[in-house]
Chains A and B, each alone.
Chain A
Amino acid sequence: MSPEILRLVLDATLDTLWMVAVAASLATLLGLPLGIFLATSGRGELFAAPALNRVLGFLVNATRSTPFIILVVAIIPFTRLLVGTSIGTKAAIVPLTIAAMPFIARLVEGSIREVDQGLVEAARAMGASPLQIVAKVLVPEALPAIVLSLTLAIVSLLGFSAMVGAVGGGGLGDLGIRYGYQRFMPDVMAVVVVVLIVLVQLVQSTGDHLSRRLNKRLRHG
């Protein structure tokens, strides 16, 4: 493989990492509070707001049931409004964030709901405010599960980011399609797949390791 091709692979990898990192950060920034709210706003819960809870729940489901490739196309006007263009890595970040945010919210909601209600009760008995309960009990106790959720979201984003390549999004998917598929260069395709596999493995094992380190329910010997 020529140095030029290697150069392309390296650039595409960096593009992918950049897209995924920014999209994951933004989606976490928005999805984490949304997930916490979804988990605590049901009837009789900390921030009881059942109507809002149902509306947000519906929006989350609607976004999640839209196939990613359709979502990318459907929000092109919004993407253009936000970043001024609908092609390239910068533009790809918008649909990636919007797809990952409800995904993260649902996963975080599940993680928070797994926290023993007895702990919430104990915190209430100590005189904790709802925000203190979230910050000092729910999030720290759910953290190992949240880390695994974010890991899953990042892995999914790696897959999605390859898909935005199909609509001119840049990154590894774009490289694979333009060189591997359209120019009949199976070796480029193979390298793209291998790099993606390595990235997914790295993300997953880092996430697993971090989650285990944070999980004080396990005995560390």
Chain B
Amino acid sequence: MTLSIRPTALVGATPLPSEAAAIRFEAVSKTFAARGRGAAAVRALSGIDLAVPSGSVLGVIGRSGAGKSTLIRLVNGLDRPTSGRVVVDGTEVSSLDERGLRDVRRRVGMVFQHFNLLSSRTAYDNVALPLEIAGLGRDEIRRRVDPLLDLVGLADKRGRYPVELSGGQKQRVGIARALATRPTVLLSDEATSALDPETTRSILDLLASINRDLGLTILLITHEMSVIRAVAREVAVIEDGRIVEHGDVFDVFTRPRHPTTRSFLSTETGHALPPYLRERLRPEPVPGGAVALRILFRGPHATDPILSELSRELGLDLNILSGSVDEIAGRPFGTLVVSLPNEPATLDAALAFLAARALDTEVIGHVA
């Protein structure tokens, strides 16, 4: 990693308080005018308030059509809000004209789902494009592009055309290109959605290291929780143009509140029930059966021997149905599904015992 690619705007500028937001949406709404006769106007975003702290990685997750693409396009002015303000690095983007926006866009890099590389340019020339647009000389361009190709691990592919590169390599060129103008903010529009899982992993690692080593603020949108989990520090869940849940990744992953968040998490570790268990689970009590209880171990308690204490203190026979211990945002997170006798007194005592240890519990059904 070379120091020369540290974003200049962070150096020498007035020091920002660490809590300062790099991107701020204030009461932002966006309505697309009706197209053609009989068509209705489409409300893409309503009343969005969201701040991306400087140097952070915020992931916005939503289904297609939820408004996440519109949201990210407001940051560099590819779209304009119908009402509200979008502030990037202290500049109110939403009030700028096209000329003013060009200046902001050089401080905001963007990575695309389909890479959007010019087929007529080599890897090197694609990375050079934003610098040519900014009017830099050949030597200065070379001084910037070479280290960037190094950074993304493509120094040996500099003369290759996009058609000769794999999807992952193309996205690496896309990332190097987005970094060329030394932006302070990086926007990632479904950057890994067209890639296979292994390549996705390596691209996400690259984004994480860019955030860590260059201090870039990253706003990424995705429809996959695994992407959020791999790089984001904060997550916002968007549905029907509204942010329905927003918080620290660990908190949202371990205590999802909104149904949409839960459904996004349903395939993630700790939230998905194994099929053999799902088949056995009944909503009503089964005669002579047991209650299935899910216990979430968050943070410091994730590795405590709570089950054996529970069993000893209450004289309970616990049966473990499924379980996992995992790490989310660098903190341990465990899930256990246990069954215990279906007696109200026992159940209440067990729930009280677990609540006293700040563990989240949920009765998920009954098993025979």
Give the interface of A toward B (CB within 8 A).
116, 118-119, 121-129, 132, 136-137, 140-141, 143, 214, 216-219
Interface SS majority for chain A: helix
Q: Is the CB of A126 within 8 A of B133?
A: yes
B110 at the interface (CB under 8 A from A): yes
| Selected interface stretch from B80-88, B99-107, B282-290, B355-363 | B99-107
Q: Is the CB of A129 within 8 A of B116?
A: no
Task: Indicate which residue in B102, B104, B132, B177 contacts A136 across the interface (CB closer than 8 Å).
Answer: B132
* Chain A residues with CB below 8 A from B314, complex form: none
Q: Is the CB of B133 within 8 A of A123?
A: yes
Task: Indicate which residue in A116, A123, A143, A218 contacts B163 across the interface (CB closer than 8 Å).
Answer: A218
Q: Is the CB of B129 within 8 A of A136?
A: yes
Given A123-B133, A141-B120: A118 and B161 interface contact (C-beta under 8 Å): no
Given A140-B120, A217-B163: A124 and B78 interface contact (C-beta under 8 Å): yes
User: Please, how many angstroms separate the alpha-carbon atoms of A140 and B129 in the complex?
Assistant: 12
User: Please, how many angstroms separate the alpha-carbon atoms of A125 and B132 in the complex?
Assistant: 14
B181 at the interface (CB under 8 A from A): yes
* Chain A residues with CB below 8 A from B187, complex form: 125
* Chain B residues with CB below 8 A from A123, complex form: 129, 133
Q: Is the CB of B118 within 8 A of A129?
A: no
Q: Which of A118, A122, A217 counts the most B-chain CB atoms under 10 A from its CB? A: A122
Task: Indicate which residue in A121, A124, A137, A218 contacts B118 across the interface (CB closer than 8 Å).
Answer: A137
Q: Is the CB of B133 within 8 A of A140?
A: no
Report the minimum CB–CB distance from A112 to chain B (whole Å).
13
Q: Which of B132, B162, B181, B187 counts the most A-chain CB atoms under 10 A from its CB? A: B132
User: Please, how many angstroms separate the alpha-carbon atoms of A66 and B105 in the complex?
Assistant: 47
Q: Is the CB of B118 within 8 A of A126?
A: no
Name the interface residues of B44-84: CB closer than 8 Å to any CB of A: 76, 78
Give the 10 A-B residue pairs with the shortest CB-CB distance, closest first: A127-B105, A122-B116, A127-B102, A126-B130, A118-B116, A125-B110, A216-B161, A127-B106, A140-B120, A128-B133
Give me 18 A-to-B residue pairs in the complex whose CB atoms sit less than 8 angstroms apart, sorted by A's number: A121-B78, A122-B112, A124-B78, A124-B105, A125-B78, A125-B110, A126-B130, A126-B177, A127-B103, A128-B133, A129-B102, A136-B129, A137-B118, A141-B120, A143-B120, A217-B119, A217-B163, A219-B163
Given A118-B112, A119-B118, A140-B118: A219 and B164 interface contact (C-beta under 8 Å): yes
Name the interface residues of B97-137: CB closer than 8 Å to any CB of A: 101-106, 108, 110, 112, 114, 116, 118-121, 129-130, 132-134
